[in-house]
Amino acid sequence: MAKEKGRKLIAQNKKARHDYLIIDTYEAGLVLTGTEVKSLRQGRASLVDGFVQLTDHEAWLHNVHVPEYSQGTWTNHSARRKRKLLLHREEIGKLEAKSQETGHTIVPLSLYFKDGRAKVEIALAKGKKEYDKRQTLREKQDRRETERAISAVRRKQRA
């Protein structure tokens, strides 16, 4: 079998970018069982309630839902078990220091295969207030409207 190349996206946490201000991102490997990998290869996972907890200089991914493998037997995995993240010692140190600050948390942004290995993109994030979320939506809407107006003017010029 040929070795996989490139990046194949499995799941994204779009809500995290809405609810949090992303400060810094990291790529981490995952310690998985065989049935979890097979389930992920089918493209089934959910990062919605996921978070990262740092304990004893180790990073653990909690509340990420990887459904049981359909052809699995009694060796199947638990769907919401905690999974160990593989990060460098310096990265864990930085994350521990920054996450101690008030309002900071670590959330998963995306889950993907990179060159055949399961990876998760995690982010150091700060929670947004409700008015910040509204302001972000307003800015996004304003940008979209200006793009539409510009493209309409360009269409008229061509015609």
Cα(22)–Cα(28) distance, integer angstroms: 16
**What is the pLDDT at residue 28?**
92
CB atoms within 10 A of CB 14: 11
Tell me, what DSSP letter sits at residue 64? Answer: -
- How large is the average pLDDT for residues 72-81? 66
- φ, ψ (nearest 5 deg) of residue 4: -70, 140
Cα(149)–Cα(154) distance, integer angstroms: 9
Please indicate, yes or no, if residue 64 is contained in any of the structural domains.
yes
Cα(157)–Cα(43) distance, integer angstroms: 45
- Which token pair is 35? 């049935």
- φ, ψ (nearest 5 deg) of residue 6: 90, -165
124 and 151 belong to one structural domain? no
- How large is the average pLDDT for residues 50-65? 89
Mean of the per-residue pLDDT values for the chain? 85
16 and 27 belong to one structural domain? yes
Please indicate, yes or no, if residue 46 is contained in any of the structural domains.
yes
Cα(61)–Cα(68) distance, integer angstroms: 17
122 and 89 belong to one structural domain? yes
**What is the pLDDT at residue 29?**
92
Share of the chain above pLDDT 70, in %: 91
Q: Note the pLDDT tens digit of each residue in 84-125.
A: 999 999 999 998 888 888 778 899 999 998 988 889 999 998
Number of domain units in the chain? 2
pTM summary value: 0.76
Question: Which residue's structure tokens are 């089934």?
Answer: 44
Please indicate, yes or no, if residue 95 is contained in any of the structural domains.
yes
Nearest residue to 68 via CA among 86, 44, 52: 44
CB atoms within 10 A of CB 65: 14
**Domain coverage including residue 147:** 129-158
CATH number, domain containing residue 75: 2.40.280.10
56 and 37 belong to one structural domain? yes
